[in-house]
Amino acid sequence: MEKIKLKVIKDSNGGFVLFREGFPRDFHTHLANKNGCDLVQMYIHKNKLPNSRWLRMSCQRLLTEEEYSNLREGKCTYHNVGGGKALKYRK
């Protein structure tokens, strides 16, 4: 997959606009903060589909239909709440 060039611009309303360089102005998305821009860029460059709905919509607005359909779904992970310690049973 070719490296996708994205550019961040501060919006006059205090938000940010993330757009794709070399494409028409339709390939842009508005985000509330810089962290959202960084998350969208990270997911696109890692070729992964975000879990949250608003990040998915942002990715969809920046990518072509073919590129968006090629994004991989994230893996389900298991977090051991017990900290990985083995349980000891009394005999």
**Does some domain include residue 79?**
no
Is 60 a member of any domain?
yes
Q: Is the pLDDT of residue 10 over 70?
A: yes
Dump pLDDT digits (tens) for 34-46: 999 999 999 999 9
CA distance 47 to 43: 6
In a domain, 90, yes or no: no
Does the structure show a pLDDT above 80 at 8? yes
Q: Does residue 84 form part of some domain? A: no
- Domain assignment present for residue 54? The answer is yes
Q: What is the number of domains present in the chain?
A: 1
Sequence-separated (6 or more) residues with CB below 8 Å from residue 41: 6, 18
User: For 13-35, what is the mean pLDDT?
Assistant: 92
| Whole-number average pLDDT of the chain | 86
The pLDDT, as a whole number, for residue 68 is: 92
pLDDT, one tens digit per residue, over 58-83 is: 999 999 999 999 999 877 777 777 66
